[in-house]
Amino acid sequence: MAYPKLNIPKLSDVIVEQLEKRILDGVLKPGDRLPPERQLAEEFGVSRPSLREAIQQLASRGLLSSRQGGGTWVTDRLETAFSDPWEKLLNQHQDLHGDLLEFRRVLEGAAARGAASRATPADLLRLEHCVSQLQDAYDGGDLAQQAQADVRFHQAVAEASHNVLFAHLSGSLLAMLHRHVKDNIADLFAVGEVADALRAQHLAIWEAIRDKQPDAAQQAVEQHLDFVATTLQSRRRQAERDARARMRLEHLEP
């Protein structure tokens, strides 16, 4: 009797799958350096040649980058594959910013809903830490720190949804918009009451996720991004009016 042949995967392919999972799960993030080869081989319980073969496979696909004498690093390939063509367009076409905020409203609202349903105790601890950093940034008045803390908080919410596509698409958008977020904050924080509103909105998102309230979490994100969109639009219109008024003043007849 003939038995079917067993399809035994190559050891290097198994290592590739494990490393891919760490990248997809956000355990290994863009810019992270892999542990030394000896340590990683011991962790997986494999030979160093099999590990090298796996790393070469991932490097050939653009997910890892090896530097001579500098180790192996996770690339930003998953993020930039989406963001590269859009970043320049966003800088050149201001009217796209409204579409962008609308897209974020849908994506981040769904992610917050998922986070409120699926966040683990470790996720909640991380989110609590991000909220604390965000509050410290508000109190310190440093716009760069506020932008960084804002990005970290929203990304932590996306990753707490435990949906790989939500997490990576959010990461791509937020990385691309880091400058855009900072510009938004510089605009919005010009008025103290607006800063207080933003502070309260982020707390509402966190509290809804912490309290396992999916509807409230999604609504809190949507209200937050609606507020950002409305406030920025109002500021831009005021800036346009100011510019027109200055031009008329300059052209007054003597």
- Residue 218 vs residue 165, higher pLDDT: 218
User: How much is the pLDDT for 218?
Assistant: 97
In the numeric block, which tokens belong to residue 147?
């932008």
> Burial of 20 by CB count in 10 Å (0-12 exposed, 13-18 middle, 19+ buried)?
middle
Handedness of CA 143, 95, 228, 188 (dihedral sign): positive
User: How much is the pLDDT for 160?
Assistant: 96
Overall average pLDDT of the 216-231 stretch: 93
Distance CA 81, CA 214 (A): 31
Distance CA 129, CA 110 (A): 22
Going by pLDDT thresholds of 50, 70 and 90, the confidence category of residue 254 is low
In the numeric block, which tokens belong to residue 228?
């950002």
User: How much is the pLDDT for 153?
Assistant: 95
pTM here? 0.74
User: How much is the pLDDT for 190?
Assistant: 47
Residue 36 has pLDDT above 80, yes or no: yes
- Residue 254 vs residue 208, higher pLDDT: 208
Handedness of CA 199, 202, 207, 210 (dihedral sign): negative
User: How much is the pLDDT for 251?
Assistant: 72
Residue 56 has pLDDT above 70, yes or no: yes
